[in-house]
Amino acid sequence: MYRIDSIKLKPPIQDEKTLLAVTVAKLTGLGPADVNNLTILRRSIDARRKPDIVLVYNVAFDLTKPERGMKLLTSSKHGVEVKMYKPEEYQYRRLAGRMIEEDERPVVVGAGPAGLFCAYILAVNGLRPIIIERGRSIDRRTADVKKFWESGKLDTESNVQFGEGGAGTFSDGKLNSTVAGKSMFANEVLKCFVRFGADKSILYSNKPHIGTDELKRVIINMHKELENLGAEFHFECKLTRCIIRDGVLRGIRYKKNGESRERACRYAILCIGHSARDTFYSLSMEGMLMEPKAFAVGLRVQHPQELINRDQYGAGYERKNLPAADYKLTYKAASGRGVYSFCMCPGGYIVNASSEEGHLAVNGMSYMKRDSGWANSAIVVSVDKSIYGEGLFAGVSFQRELEMNAYNLGQGSIPVERVGDYFKCADAGHLSKSAYTPMIKGKYRYAPLHELLSKPLYNDIREAFTDFDRKLPGFANDEALFAGVESRTSSPIRMIRGESLESNIEGLYPCGEGAGYAGGITSAAADGMKVAEALITKYF
């Protein structure tokens, strides 16, 4: 195949592939019938000269007459460079070997992206993994989350954080990753998502996005395929301890329906997610080496999507059939700490993402169409031990204290406050009700949110907003809404693992975001694949 980069087309575009094939033919001096099997490798939006927006494509194609290939490579039309193209493909080894005995089956703890993709690679290789998950299956979990958002009644084991699909299932569904062959594992994750029902556009979009609604369907299809390959799911099974003798894993103990159970196993992969704080504590007590790590905390901010579209695309964007615009903002405060936007959700919702009684955390979520009419993003400040103190679990304690204070501020509901009131510390003596509609999943309450963060972090965000408003006029609008607290941007600890990806306890493999080795759906899934490959070498 051949490749051409940086083909620019002006929106709106009706039939992408046909127009690209015609464009490739014109650029290379070929006829339209000569261009065959055109594949979009990457598509991005260039809005630097707004309102003159262009879509930029990298494409691959082959020829109906292969003998014309040499001429294509040696001649250049209109300054276009044509290159040979061979995609880097992930190789499924499907290793053959002896039958795996029942007590040799690997156990995958957690059914989030790291756990599901780890289990998938193990299952393809005939290892029939056992997957245990403290939460419920996707259908039951969805009902539990809906009930929580409507009634405020929290199920601490089946919620936005815990259950099949992991925390990302009720997040934005963004697949932050490199595309166009830059990461073999990440590309295979995207291909698997498409194989299980996601839209093909995630394979070439520079900002891949599935959406919470579509991601659930993908997970259901992946679950079925895993079972077809011999994997076994056990829900409502919470890991309580690892059975270790002489520094070697011998089995696991877990709780189901209030009853303690044991399973012998040689290998267990810990894909427990960034919110499994109780499991962090128990693993540390059992001797697993860990270290604290930096993370970020802050608030969610909501604006009308129309404001973000206008800032990013310029006048007349409505006629160009462009997607809901996003943004990425960064700022270094006078304190030296970084302030940045995180998990930006175009056309999305702020959601109550709590998992502990008496504590409250928020996240952002959007459906595939991103059509809520409102944009939200976390605005967070990087924190380390200079903020949260010394000790392995000081970061966890810091998160939990913020979440408890947020719960109390909102009297159990999400505390929200106008940006204008927030930065004035409500000098008027009361909390004004914003003209903007809070687009929130879960109960909310107007509250003095400016009291939540410490003064240093409050000042960092205040300082950053002045800069952000210069970059996106209207960002610091008084009517914009803050909601808090955004406390679970990443794991506050890292489980130490060696070159073989094994912990200091033989047979125990930390994996994914909870272990401190990923930062989102795609990277967690890719880490699951890497750990599975490392484990396969132990068997074969």
Residue 468 corresponds to which tokens in the numbers above?
């952000």
Q: Which part of the chain has CATH 3.50.50.60?
A: 102-290+491-539
Using DSSP, state whether 140 is helix, strand or coil. helix
178-203 confidence digits (pLDDT tens): 444 457 898 999 999 999 999 999 99
Residue 304, Cβ neighbours under 10 Å: how many?
18
| Mean of pLDDT values over 490-511 | 97
Alpha-carbon gap, residue 72 to 29, rounded angstroms: 9
Tokens 């995958």: give the residue: 108
Q: Does residue 17 contact residue 38 with C-beta atoms inside 8 Å? A: yes
- Within the chain, all domains assigned CATH 3.30.70.2700 are found at 2-84
Question: What's the CA gap between 416 and 448, in Å, rounded?
Answer: 8
Lowest mean pLDDT among 65-74, 224-233, 459-468: 65-74
Quote the longest CA-to-CA distance of the chain: 79
pTM of full prediction above 0.85 = yes
* Phi, then psi, of 532 in degrees rounded to 5: -60, -45
> What does the alpha-carbon distance between residue 152 and residue 136 come to, in Å, rounded to a whole number?
19
pLDDT value at 174 more than 90: no
pLDDT, tens digit, 9 for 90 and up, residues 40-75: 999 999 999 999 999 999 999 999 988 877 777 766
Q: How far apart, in whole angstroms, are the C-alpha atoms of residue 262 and residue 133?
A: 15
Topology given in CATH for the domain delimited by 2-84: Alpha-Beta Plaits (3.30.70)
As beta bridge partners, residue 159 has none
**Angle of the 184-195 helix axis to the 521-539 helix axis, nearest 10:** 100
pLDDT tens digit sequence for 352-372: 999 999 999 999 999 999 999
Q: How confident is the model at residue 529 (pLDDT cuts 50, 70, 90)?
A: very high
Q: What is the DSSP string of 172-210?
A: --B-----TTS-HHHHHHHHHHHHTT--GGGGTBSS-B-
Q: Any residues with CB less than 8 A from the CB of 266 and at least 6 apart, and which? A: 103, 104, 106, 249, 507
Q: Looking at residue 180, what is its pLDDT?
A: 42
- Mean pLDDT calculated for residue range 328-337: 98
**pLDDT value at residue 429:** 52
**Residues 245-262: what's their mean pLDDT?**
95
Helix (H) and strand (E) counts in the chain: 13, 24
Region 261-276: what's the mean pLDDT? 96
Asked if the peptide bond before residue 485 counts as cis, ω within 30 degrees of 0, the response is yes
Closest CA to 129 of 263, 288, 275, 283: 263
Provide the 10 A C-beta neighbour count for residue 285.
9
Mean pLDDT of 139-163: 96
pLDDT of residue 178: 47
Quote the pLDDT of residue 181.
45
pLDDT band at 425 (very low <50, low <70, confident <90, very high): confident
219 CB neighbour count, 10 Å cutoff: 24
Candidates 492, 495, 518; CA nearest to 268 is 495
Pick the CATH number of 102-290+491-539 from 3.40.50.300, 3.50.50.60, 3.40.50.10210, 1.10.3470.10: 3.50.50.60
Q: How confident is the model at residue 96 (pLDDT cuts 50, 70, 90)?
A: low
